[in-house]
Amino acid sequence: MVRGPASGNGERSGVYYPVSADLAPPRPQARALYDDQARYDDRDEYGETALYGQAASYDGSSYGGALYGGMDPFLADVRADGTVAASQGFGRGGRGAGGRWLLWPLRIVLWAALLVVVFRGLTAIIVNHAAAPAGGAGSPNAASGQFPVAMAEAYATEFGRVYFAFSPQNLLAREQALAAFVPPGVAAADPNLGWNGAGQVSLQALQVAGIKVQDPRHAVVTLLALISGQLTELGVPVAADRGGLVVSGEPAWLPAPPRILPPATATPQGSDRAAQNQLANELPAFFQAYASGDSTALNRLLAPGASLAPLGGGVTFDSISALHVPPGTRTRHITVTVIWQLPEQAGAAAGNLGMTSKLEMTYGMSVVDSQSGKWYVKEIGASTETVGAR
User: 144-184: per-residue pLDDT in tens?
Assistant: 579 999 999 999 999 999 999 988 888 999 999 999 999 99
In a domain, 62, yes or no: yes
* pLDDT of 63 over the 80 cut: no
For 212-232, what is the mean pLDDT?
A: 95
367 band by pLDDT with thresholds 50, 70 and 90: very high
* pLDDT at res. 74: 44
Per-chain mean pLDDT for the chain: 76
Residue 266, domain member (yes or no)? no
Q: Are both 196 and 248 inside the same structural domain?
A: yes
Same domain, 252 and 118: yes
Do 20 and 118 have their domain in common? no
- Between the CA of residue 307 and those of 58, 258, 380, what are the distances in Å? 101, 38, 10
Name beta bridge partners: 365: 334, 380
* Residue 55, in any domain of the structure: yes
Burial class, 179, CB count within 10 angstroms (exposed 0-12 / middle 13-18 / buried 19+):
middle
Q: Report the C-alpha gap between 264 and 261 in whole angstroms.
A: 9
Number of domains making up the chain: 3
CATH number at 365 reads 3.10.450.540
Residue 388: inside a domain, yes or no? no
| Residues 152 and 248 sit within 8 Å (Cβ to Cβ) | no
Judgement on whether residues 254 and 327 belong to the same structural domain of the protein: no
Whether the per-residue pLDDT at 353 is higher than 80: the answer is no
What span, in angstroms and rounded, lies between the C-alpha atoms of 383 and 323? 12
Task: Specify whether 55 is located in the same domain as 129.
Answer: no
pLDDT bucket at 20, cuts 50 / 70 / 90: very low
Assess whether pLDDT exceeds 80 at residue 115. yes
Q: Write b or e for each residue in 202-234: b if 16 or more Cβ atoms lie within 10 A of its Cβ, otherwise e.
A: eeeebebbebebeeeebbbbbbbbebeeeeebb
Residue 267 lies in a domain: no
Query: In the structure, what pLDDT confidence band is assigned to residue 47 with cuts at 50, 70 and 90?
Result: very low
Q: Are residues 217 and 279 in the same domain?
A: no
> How many C-beta neighbours within 10 Å does residue 337 have?
18
**Are residue 282 and residue 253 in the same domain, yes or no?**
no
Read off the pLDDT of residues 299-308 as tens digits, 9 standing for 90 and up: 999 999 999 9
Q: Are both 151 and 233 inside the same structural domain? A: yes
* Per-residue pLDDT tens over the stretch 8-17: 454 454 544 4
Q: How confident is the model at residue 250 (pLDDT cuts 50, 70, 90)?
A: very high
Percent share of the chain, pLDDT over 90: 44
Q: Is there a single domain that holds both residue 61 and residue 123?
A: no
Report the pLDDT value the prediction gives residue 348, as an integer from 0 to 100: 53
Based on the fold, state whether residues 244 and 153 are members of the same structural domain: yes
Q: Lowest-confidence range among 49-58, 250-259, 328-337?
A: 49-58
Name 246's bridge partners.
Answer: 239
Q: Is 51's pLDDT higher than 70?
A: no
Domain end (from 17, 52, 87): 87
Q: Is 141 inside a domain boundary?
A: yes
Whether 80 and 28 have beta carbons less than 8 Å apart is answered as yes
* Among 34, 55, 87, residue at a domain's last position: 87
Residue 56 lies in a domain: yes
Structural Rg of the chain based on CA atoms: 50
- Is pTM beyond 0.85? Reply is no
pLDDT tens-digit map of 181-200: 999 999 999 999 988 888 88
pLDDT of residue 56: 39
Higher-confidence position of 125 and 53 = 125
Domain region containing 27 = 1-87
pLDDT beyond 50 at 70: no
My answer on whether 65 and 140 are in the same domain is: no
Residues 221, 160 share a domain: yes
Q: Which of 214, 237, 260 is the last residue of a domain?
A: 260
243 belongs to a structural domain? yes
* Amino acid identity for residue 105 in this structure: P
Alpha-carbon distance of 90 to 104, in angstroms, equals: 14
